[in-house]
Structure 1
Amino acid sequence: MAHQKREGSSTDDDCASKRLKGSDTASETGCNVEASVSQEIDAEATRTCQRESEAPSNKCVSDGKSAVDSNVSGEQKMVLTAVEADAAEDKGCRHTMEDAWVVLPNAGAEYPGSLRCAHFAIFDGHGGRLAADYAQKHLHQNVIAAGLPRELMDVKAAKKAIIEGFRRTDESLLQESTKRNWQDGATAVCVWILGQMVVVANAGDAKAVLARSISTDGEGVVDETKSQLKAIVLTREHKAIFPQERSRIQKAGGSVGSNGRLQGRIEVSRAFGDRQFKKVGLISTPDVHSFELTKKDHFIILGCDGLWGVFGPSDAVEFVQNQLKETSSASLAVRRLVKEAVRERRCKDNCTAVLIVFKH
């Protein structure tokens, strides 16, 4: 399947220009993102998420919105019936687009199993797009090969497979980088939906935000006329300036400059590729969280740091909620989100978003 991208800056919301991804390079991204998870979000995440460390890999990208029927074991409560998802991108003020994304509502098509498997990801490249393209093509298949559950849900097995898939992807990317003299890298935020379970993995500063109802009626049945959605950040940023990351970098023999960057050069402390920094503390190991979907969970927004540089989590959730009320279309909602970020809010970086809408 071709790896295609949808432009978020189209002047017509109903039409989006698409192009095959190239291999051009550009300068490292320079935008700062918002601070990591707040105490309130941490408390929520502690109740709903289980954290570990790595994420998956896949090579296919869907073209347009897709829906996948639920195939949940009879022992599980039938809550989620379908997933609708799409992506949008805009290069912003950059000369080139260095992001890559994956939208696979049926990620198990090539690896049959009774368990629903969907995969979504954004890979935010810096110093070029080669690492992002490589992760886009290989991460999911490496996660599947590492043992992602396809029959019965096993959270520990899923997290272990994701972590191993990240490791294998980075290892093979570094070998390729050495042979071809690639210097670039890419952060990642990824989601797998396995049955009723959502597993989120991230390495770097891209974010995943969940929109969850805080107003319900009866047994979790949401009254859409009264419902308010709470934004829950599902990921933790990895920047060299953060104490835990700085300590690890220093133990590995690296340093964090006065500008808060690893070796004074890159802001993130975890990423695929960047082979010149791997010996001084840069790692590809992701944080991994999991939670079980309920009827309160409406959608997840994945975004590169360019998106979150101009949108706060609650702001983005409110914007998408309004778009979904108006259009009932994940495709239109995500395109308008990126268009708002670039045209109205003046995002200066590449801007990419994936919207995953849960149909209950």
Structure 2
Amino acid sequence: MIVGAMVLFPAILDGLVRTMSTKKGSNFRNDVGREAAEALAKEAKKNELMLRSSGTMRSEKSDNLSSVCSKRGKKGMNQDCLIVWEEFGFQEDMIFCGIFDGHGPWGHLVSKRVRESMPASLLCNWQETLALLSLDMDFDNESDRNLCWFDVWKQSFLKTYAAIDQELKHHPGIDSFQSGTTALTIVKQGEQLVVANVGDSRAVLATISEDGSLVPLQLTIDFKPNLPLEAERIRSSKGQVFCLHDEPGVYRVWSPHGEAPGLAISRAFGDYFIKDFGLISVPDVRQRHVTSRDQFVILATDGVWDVISNEEAVKIVSSTAEKEKSARRLVECAALAWKSKKRGLATDDISAICLFFRSETNPLLSVPHVRIARGIYVPVSLSQLDFTIPNKHTQLLSHSLENMSSYDGRPSNAPVNHFEVRELNDESDFETIVSPDGLFSVCGFGSLLSEKSAKSTFPNLINFRIARLNGFRRVFAHATPLFFERGIARPETKEIASLTVQHCEGESLIVSIFDINKSEIPAYIERENEYRFLAVLPETLDGKRIENPAVLCAHCGDKEFIRVRCEVNKDPYFQLYEKYNIDKIWQDDIFPCRTYLRHCVLAARSLSEGVYDNFLDHTFLGDCKTTIREYLAAKGSGIMEEEPPDSVKTRYGG
């Protein structure tokens, strides 16, 4: 759609347009517009036109193809998030993409909040701006029409970014004083592309040059504090710009007296501690007319651009055999580059969106690949890139190059004769156990023995069944804040423990197995953040091996949790536990939460006597000696007779 042509709004927005033409107040118009836009967002989710996690989006009504991937770094939970919305606002030729990089103690919540607010707010402002214009305006030429089109979008982005920053400031559940996020968003409508950017994420266009080569064109500015215009604004607002001695070249925005923390970007949502000193959330908005030479655009956080150049990124994406896997390959290459280029530093979160303007294959983009590790394929041309494959992959890479003539570009389907339990560190590891139909299996050993309870957490689970897992035991040794939040913890008697599992030769557990969609992987990782994720291979009760591995949440240990999940920033640890006076997550001198234990026992009993006996005799207190059968007989008087509080009766009813 171009301003000046007839605009075909969906029915839900017809009322919005009519509303805008009335003399109602602006607050009323905004409320109506936001409600309509949010209704469209819900409809988009329902129709699977919106993607908010790693995966692929292909519209039936346009030629776009989007490849999306996000990988958690080594600084704690993943603070990156992203979104792709095809048929944005139910316009068949329009797509919205956004990528957000949070920072600070609450950065993960800030980035998600901005992601949730941005599309609907932008759509509302766009429709309002259009409604306030005359839709039958005539233009003397195409240039004037495009300028008007861009001005509508620019004003819409400026209003949206300003409104979201104000909403965030007053949000009752998110502390954005020393936390914030970048925001890089694009809208492609027909052959017009508009880009709005705050922060240091980057958009790079891949286009074919006059000599026929594929070259990068950077569409955005990395808003760093030392850029002349940015530094001038900051200093005129009494802020400071300088590097610390131990961070040469890393310029930050500081308050007038240099109090920590300093911020390494000059534009961001949130971060109100420094908003009065030159930090702004005003986006830089630009446009481009997409031509037949333009192939795709990459949106990525600084986790990519800190170690991968524009040229390298375009080469990686263009040489990926399957476009659907291009974002994942770019992210994996960046992760490898971090290991060689940033030795000793914690890997940042790494996220990318690759939006292809035409879904058919361009012969220019077909390049042979080699496999360097299970599930990781690298173009041969990557040998020319400026990073080194880690030593542990060198031999495998050499072997792959020698046998490249027989490589067909697909993962090996050779049968596995021996399965080894292995750790799953991030989303890409989870992808290795996803079934061909896009599902992954979860292993339940406590409350998830109840199908009803499992469905309260995973409403769309399928194929719930019972299996046996050898080599593990259950232990009540996990102090969880969840029981405090739900009012069922008894800290005075140390009855605060949830279940975990530990490796133990000779032990055997009866567990539940069920399948959920791979789109739930990011939420699953974040929800079970205290645990180690293991890929295990249970067997049926009659001893037959189950075909696909399942994810098991296993005992982690406090030191390992801090090292792996909070390598740089320990704030998540203290925010979750300190307020409940929990000084250790994993303890051997605590006892089962009474309501939770009763629920688990009833869940096991409801399955069968065999499952019930297995739970009682193969589940231990934190001392790893006392079984639950012994505990209930000796000290657990009244537990099984106690009804759970009304507020949790449905969830913990057995």
Same fold per superposition (TM over 0.5): yes
- Corresponding residue to 1:173 among 155, 168, 176: 168
- Amino acid corresponding to residue 93 of structure 2 in structure 1: R
Q: Percentage identity across aligned positions?
A: 28
- Amino acid corresponding to residue 175 of structure 2 in structure 1: N
CA contact (8 A) 2:200 2:265 kept: yes
CA distance in 2, matches of 1:102, 1:86: 11
- Amino acid corresponding to residue 337 of structure 1 in structure 2: L
CA distance in 1, matches of 2:270, 2:305: 23
Change (3 A) 1:180 1:99: closer
Change (3 A) 1:107 1:146: same
Q: Indicate the residue corresponding to 2:515 in structure 1.
A: none
Aligned-CA RMSD value: 2.4
Paired residues for 1:159-170 under 5 Å: 159-170=154-165
CA distance in 1, matches of 2:243, 2:307: 25
- Corresponding residue to 1:294 among 291, 296, 299: 291
- Corresponding residue to 1:187 among 170, 182, 186: 182
- Corresponding residue to 1:123 among 83, 86, 100: 100
CA contact (8 A) 1:86 1:103 kept: no
CA contact (8 A) 2:109 2:174 kept: no
1:90 aligns with 2:90: no
The offset of 1:345, in angstroms, is 4.2
CA distance in 1, matches of 2:126, 2:85: 18
The offset of 1:251, in angstroms, is 1.5
CA distance in 2, matches of 1:166, 1:339: 31
The offset of 1:87, in angstroms, is 1.1
The offset of 1:291, in angstroms, is 0.9
The offset of 1:144, in angstroms, is 1.2
- Amino acid corresponding to residue 247 of structure 1 in structure 2: E
Paired residues for 1:158-237 under 5 Å: 158-176=153-171, 180-182=174-176, 183-215=178-210, 227-237=212-222
Count of residues paired in the alignment = 275
Paired residues for 1:1-360 under 5 Å: 61-62=50-51, 64-68=55-59, 81-109=62-90, 113=91, 116-127=93-104, 128-147=107-126, 154-176=149-171, 180-182=174-176, 183-215=178-210, 227-259=212-244, 260-263=251-254, 265-323=262-320, 326-327=321-322, 329=323, 331-346=324-339, 348-359=347-358
Q: Could you list the per-position Cα deviations for residues 296-336 of structure 1 after superposition, in whole angstroms to 9, with x for gaps in the alignment?
A: 0100000101100111001100111100xx22x2x311111
The offset of 1:215, in angstroms, is 4.4
CA distance in 1, matches of 2:291, 2:228: 35
Secondary structure at the aligned position of 2:215 is classed as strand
The offset of 1:69, in angstroms, is 5.0
CA distance in 2, matches of 1:356, 1:308: 17
Q: Could you list the per-position Cα deviations for residues 198-239 of structure 1 after superposition, in whole angstroms to 9, with x for gaps in the alignment?
A: 0011111110000001147xxxxxxxxxx4211000001111
Secondary structure at the aligned position of 1:89 is classed as strand
Q: Indicate the residue corresponding to 2:518 in structure 1.
A: none
CA distance in 2, matches of 1:97, 1:181: 18
Q: Could you list the per-position Cα deviations for residues 7-27 of structure 1 after superposition, in whole angstroms to 9, with x for gaps in the alignment?
A: xxxxxxxxxxxxxxxxxxxxx
Q: Indicate the residue corresponding to 2:498 in structure 1.
A: none
CA distance in 2, matches of 1:306, 1:359: 27
- Amino acid corresponding to residue 107 of structure 1 in structure 2: F
Q: Report 1 or 2 for greater relative contact order, CA contacts < 8 Å, sequence distance ≥ 6.
A: 1
Change (3 A) 1:240 1:344: closer
Q: Could you list the per-position Cα deviations for residues 117-174 of structure 1 after superposition, in whole angstroms to 9, with x for gaps in the alignment?
A: 2111110111121210111000111111112559897111111101111111111011
Change (3 A) 1:278 1:196: same
The offset of 1:180, in angstroms, is 4.3
* Structure 1: runs of 5+ lacking an equivalent: 1-56, 71-80, 217-226
* Structure 2: runs of 5+ lacking an equivalent: 1-37, 136-144, 245-250, 360-654
Q: Could you list the per-position Cα deviations for residues 91-134 of structure 1 after superposition, in whole angstroms to 9, with x for gaps in the alignment?
A: 1222221011011122223xxx5x62211111011112121011
CA contact (8 A) 2:110 2:174 kept: no
The offset of 1:344, in angstroms, is 4.7
CA contact (8 A) 1:83 1:359 kept: yes
CA distance in 2, matches of 1:67, 1:342: 26
CA distance in 2, matches of 1:333, 1:141: 28
CA distance in 2, matches of 1:162, 1:308: 24
CA contact (8 A) 2:122 2:160 kept: yes
- Amino acid corresponding to residue 228 of structure 2 in structure 1: P
CA contact (8 A) 1:108 1:116 kept: no
CA contact (8 A) 2:95 2:189 kept: yes
Q: Indicate the residue corresponding to 1:22 in structure 2.
A: none
CA contact (8 A) 1:100 1:136 kept: yes
- Amino acid corresponding to residue 156 of structure 1 in structure 2: D
Change (3 A) 1:180 1:202: closer
CA contact (8 A) 2:102 2:182 kept: yes
The offset of 1:184, in angstroms, is 0.9
Greater Cα shift, 256-265 or 283-292: 256-265
- Amino acid corresponding to residue 166 of structure 2 in structure 1: E
Q: Could you list the per-position Cα deviations for residues 228-286 of structure 1 after superposition, in whole angstroms to 9, with x for gaps in the alignment?
A: 21100000111112221111011122222344211151110100111111111111001
Tell me which protein shows more helix as a share of its residues.
2
Secondary structure at the aligned position of 1:96 is classed as coil
Structure label with greater radius of gyration: 2
Q: Could you list the per-position Cα deviations for residues 23-61 of structure 1 after superposition, in whole angstroms to 9, with x for gaps in the alignment?
A: xxxxxxxxxxxxxxxxxxxxxxxxxxxxxxxxxx98975
